[in-house]
């Protein structure tokens, strides 16, 4: 919906805008000089876990991820907060502290923020980073023949829904939280030494939704090997039990028209490919001879697909 609105807006013609909103990329990129470009992004959402500090840390990791997905280094952060005027200040303090500690881990300076009185809690950050103009990793640069590396398992949306319904085990929730609070910094540093062509992070639109954006922006077909896609422990069982978040259904409606499956597939596994992720991993495309080496350098990363042709805007799922 926001994308359709942005398409109608007048805009300034500026050759220094290296990445705008045209390709639904993770962040905007603006060239400041031949050696430096600015990365700008903002992300905030409602609590996904009960513990305030953990929620703050997840929100920070999620916002920082957009800078890492562009191949950049985060510099500064501005907090974005919606909070009830009569809300518990200890809870608010926990959220803010959890986020601040994650920013410190990333070496990103908190320089301010803005808050509004709202009955529904929402929290996140606007992040500014830098990257060399020649090293921007965009979702529009995937090439035919590339292999696809995924750096984190999926299933956070299904596990969060299972938690709300009292189905999720403490161990499975803990594994999901560990994944969501883990920065994509290590993955970004690893890919900086490879011939990476395209990159995006997997968040609210799910694996298929973000793969669709790569396919459209690059004019390619993205082929995913469903059996190779890493899953969080418990996620498949919870999907089979019907712990399906509303965002998953929305993602399916949005992307299934350009998605085909080849071979018989577990319906619950297909559900997970549409599952909305919070602070998910990176989807990286690069020459296949480098993919295995890159995956080996990132804990939990796998080679899970390829770019097959230039037919454009298609997702093929191999069972």
Domain spans, the chain: 2-135, 147-318
CA 41 to chain centre: 12
pLDDT given for residue 313 in this prediction: 72
pLDDT given for residue 311 in this prediction: 73
SS3 content of the chain, % helix, strand, coil (to 5): 40, 25, 35
pLDDT given for residue 4 in this prediction: 61
**What DSSP designation does 48 have?**
S
Quote the CA–CA distance of 263 and 143 in Å, as a whole number.
25
Quote the CA–CA distance of 179 and 194 in Å, as a whole number.
24
pLDDT given for residue 11 in this prediction: 78
**What pTM did the predictor assign?**
0.94
The two three-digit tokens of residue 14, written as one number: 């500026």
**Distance of CA 16 to CAs 28, 32, 281, 308, Å?**
11, 7, 28, 32
**Mean pLDDT, contiguous 10-residue spans, the chain (319 residues):** 66 91 91 98 95 98 98 98 96 98 98 97 98 95 97 98 95 98 97 96 96 94 97 98 96 93 94 98 98 96 94 85
Could you tell me whether strands 147-150 and 282-286 are parallel, antiparallel, or unpaired per DSSP bridges? Answer: antiparallel
The CATH homologous superfamily of the domain defined by 147-318 = PurM-like C-terminal domain (3.90.650.10)
The CATH homologous superfamily of the domain defined by 2-135 = PurM-like, N-terminal domain (3.30.1330.10)
Burial (CB count <10 Å: 0-12, 13-18, 19+), residue 128: buried
Q: 3-class DSSP state for residue 307?
A: strand
> Under a CB-based contact definition with an 8 Å cutoff, are residues 199 and 297 in contact?
no
Quote the CA–CA distance of 96 and 79 in Å, as a whole number.
9
Quote the CA–CA distance of 37 and 89 in Å, as a whole number.
38
Q: 3-class DSSP state for residue 192?
A: coil
pLDDT given for residue 31 in this prediction: 98
């Amino acid at each position: 919906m926001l994308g359709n609105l942005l398409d109608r807006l007048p805009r300034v013609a500026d050759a220094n805008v290296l990445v705008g909103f045209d390709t639904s990329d993770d962040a905007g990129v603006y060239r400041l000089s031949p050696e430096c470009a600015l990365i700008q992004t903002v992300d905030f959402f409602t609590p996904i876990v009960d513990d305030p500090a953990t929620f703050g840390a997840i929100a920070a990791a999620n916002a920082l991820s957009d800078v890492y997905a562009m191949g950049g280094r985060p510099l500064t952060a501005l907090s974005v907060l919606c909070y009830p005027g009569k809300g518990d200040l200890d809870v608010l303090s926990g959220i803010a502290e959890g986020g601040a500690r994650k920013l410190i881990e990333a070496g990103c300076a908190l320089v301010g923020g803005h808050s509004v009185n709202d009955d529904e809690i929402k929290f996140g950050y606007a992040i500014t980073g830098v990257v060399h103009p020649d090293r921007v990793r965009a979702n529009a640069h995937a090439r035919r023949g590339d292999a696809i590396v995924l750096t984190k398992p999926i299933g956070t949306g299904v596990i969060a829904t299972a938690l709300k319904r009292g189905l999720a085990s403490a161990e499975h929730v803990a594994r999901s939280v560990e994944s969501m609070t883990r920065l994509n910094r290590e993955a970004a540093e690893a890919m900086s030494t490879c011939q990476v062509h395209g990159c995006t992070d997997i968040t609210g639109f799910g694996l298929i939704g973000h793969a669709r954006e790569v396919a459209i922006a690059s004019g390619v077909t993205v082929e995913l090997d469903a059996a190779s896609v890493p899953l969080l422990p418990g996620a498949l069982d919870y999907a089979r039990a019907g712990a399906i978040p509303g965002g998953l259904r929305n993602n399916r409606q949005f992307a299934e028209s350009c998605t085909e499956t080849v071979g018989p597939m577990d319906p619950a596994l297909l559900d997970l490919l549409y599952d909305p992720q919070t602070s998910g991993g990176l989807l990286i495309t690069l020459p296949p001879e480098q993919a295995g080496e890159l995956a080996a350098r990132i804990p939990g990363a796998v080679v899970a697909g390829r770019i097959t042709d230039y037919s454009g805007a298609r997702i093929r799922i191999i069972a």
